[in-house]
């Protein structure tokens, strides 16, 4: 009798685990989704059309690019336009992207963006070109992308690429300095 009870209990546990696995697989597979870039707002914010046809504003995870002008707040930060044009060129050449959401901020999806067929992420390319900062505060040092961006930023500094040619102020300091 004990054996039959134990068998029933194990069967219930196994069935429950199988159900959880079956439910979890689609959930985790749904985290990353394809899209097509339809606009580039600045170096670290784009709008992507998802498979459902909806426009989704996406903030690029782990980076901060120079600020574009915001009327009544501040003038354009040096290299802001270059960063925007760089992302436009990247996404024009490879408009189909894979979006891996990492969170949400100010109504935008925060995500890692990879263009179709490319090894490096959009973020890594921006940092390597010297057109943005690795945003340590919001990048999990345990993630490979954050480690790659740190290495790319150090290389861009060494090569004096883009904004590293002179005295560049990080956007978080620019915003703070120019806040009302």
Q: What is the pLDDT averaged over residues 120-124?
A: 94
**Domain 33-178's class?**
mainly beta
State the Cα–Cα distance between residues 81 and 56, nearest whole angstrom: 22
Token pair in block for residue 19: 């159900």
At 107, give phi and psi (nearest 5°): 75, 10
pLDDT higher than threshold 90 for residue 117: no
Domain ranges of the chain: 1-30, 33-178
What pLDDT digit, counting tens, does each position of 147-166 carry? 999 999 999 999 999 999 98
Query: What percentage of the chain carries pLDDT values higher than 90?
Result: 53
Mind listing the pLDDT tens digit for each residue in 10-68?
A: 444 333 333 333 332 333 334 889 999 999 999 999 999 999 999 999 999 999 999 99
CA atoms within 13 A on the CB side of 44: 24
CB distance 78 to 165 below 8 Å? no
């Amino acid at each position: 009798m004990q054996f039959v009870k134990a068998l029933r209990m194990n069967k219930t546990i196994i069935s429950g685990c199988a159900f959880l696995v079956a439910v979890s697989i689609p959930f985790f597979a749904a985290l990353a989704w394809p899209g097509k870039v339809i606009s580039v707002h600045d170096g670290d914010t784009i709008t992507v059309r998802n498979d459902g046809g909806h426009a989704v504003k996406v903030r690029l995870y782990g980076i901060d690019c120079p600020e574009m002008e915001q009327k009544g707040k501040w003038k354009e930060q040096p290299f802001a336009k270059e960063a925007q044009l760089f992302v436009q060129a990247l996404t024009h050449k490879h408009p189909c992207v894979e979006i891996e959401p990492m969170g949400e901020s100010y109504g935008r999806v925060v995500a890692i963006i990879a263009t179709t067929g490319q090894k490096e992420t959009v973020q890594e390319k921006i940092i390597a070109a010297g057109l943005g900062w690795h945003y340590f505060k919001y990048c999990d040092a345990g993630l490979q992308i954050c480690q790659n961006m740190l290495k790319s930023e150090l290389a861009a500094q060494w090569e004096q690429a883009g904004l590293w040619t002179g005295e560049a102020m990080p956007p978080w300091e620019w915003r703070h300095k120019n806040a009302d």
